Structure 1
Amino acid sequence: MNPQNELEPVVNTLSYLAHDWLHGFVQAIKTYRSTIGVSPPHPAYPLPPAFPFGGLTEVFHWVQIFDDATQVDRSFRVRMAYTAGDAARWEPLLWTVYSGNIVIGSVELDRRIFVDQSVVSVDPIFILEGMADAVRRQTKLTVSSRIVMRTRNGEVATPTNSVWYEIFEVRTASNELVKELGRRVITHPRFCPQCRVWVPHSGPAYCLEHLPAND
């Protein structure tokens, strides 16, 4: 049997099961939060109090059927791991769902968005929904922001009729837009002194590539 042909249905099944697993947690948290008269012990309940800054694990069992004469019993442990990154260097936060050396999906969050949280609220549901979408797509999703300039009433752009917007969005590893999370007007946009690349409203005044060692 071709190893690649054997691996693909395994990954697809893991993707389906992991998505269902994560989505179940989303529904459970929403149920506890909406139940009248019952206050959950902590915001992430029934997950551990530290979530999303911690790991989860589950074992999935199934029978993989290839044809009328071939079927295989499968058992895979799936883990969701959190990588904090270097806060001093403003490295992104990363959540990864994997089994062994198979990465099913991941979510990378710009640390500057996490520190800000004025437009995007990073809570257990936000991370779980992002991870569920990532494993369904079997890709890495990146939560970041960018700046665009828009003119009023479709007029020719001038300094007096232009507005800068910071757009918060989720994109795939291939840069496909998944969804916009929100936007805000930027009165005084900031640009890296070294390369003139725009930098977000929150965080250091430099892009991450040119961040000074002591910043």
Structure 2
Amino acid sequence: MRFNALNQEYYDIMGKAGFRFILYGMESGNQKTLDKLDKGTKEADAINGPRMARKAGLDPHITIMLGYPWESYKDAQRTIAIAKYAFKKGYYETMQATIVIPYPATPLWKECREKGWLLTENYDDYDMRSPVMKIPFSRQKLLELEQDLYSCFMTPQYITRKVLGIRSVHDFMYLFYMGKKLIGHLLDFDPNQTKVSRLSPAFWKNAVHKLGKHFVTPKTSVDTEKSAIRLVDSAVNL
């Protein structure tokens, strides 16, 4: 669903009807990318929509991509900052992050062919774990950004909510399962993908650093922009 598709009234109806899981395609936290992808949304919608969904008792799952050819390193950091802010505030419940892949027959694929952005046309490499397009910064930095994105939920506020939310063994096992999935994602995007494993000391040192960094510095650039992000109902676009 797009972030600005519903207002609070519609989310409340979904909650009362028994809906729980809701998936949003954020894709990017940069307006120029949202416009280029014809998303029809604004940056603030990435906060407003899930905020209303959570108020209605829904669990927002967000999909995000990094590695657009026209986005700078700073642009990618902006996307991470928005996601981190939303996790900290409790607006996002879970997330899936990948690297942008230009699949054949899509407008992005056509643009890549026209502008010479493709690094390979070997479809075995199109697994969303490594860039196949030219970007303004290195492959290693992109993989590090993906790890940052998967780590950004690790704020005291989010962790406290999760711990206090444990009501049964099932809840504990679910968090344990999600922890295993997180480690898998961090391993997927390790800059030394073919040289590390779950048993690698280098991998664990890097993982602890990534997670710890977000825990000790929960504040983001978005926190200073609250006045610019109007937390109001979005217009209904049905």
Q: TM-score, structure 2 length as denominator? A: 0.21
Question: Which structure shows the higher strand fraction?
Answer: 1
Flag the structure with more relative contact order, 1 or 2, with Cα contacts below 8 A and sequence separation at least 6. Answer: 2
| Larger gyration radius, structure 1 or structure 2 | 1
Q: Which has the higher helix share?
A: 2
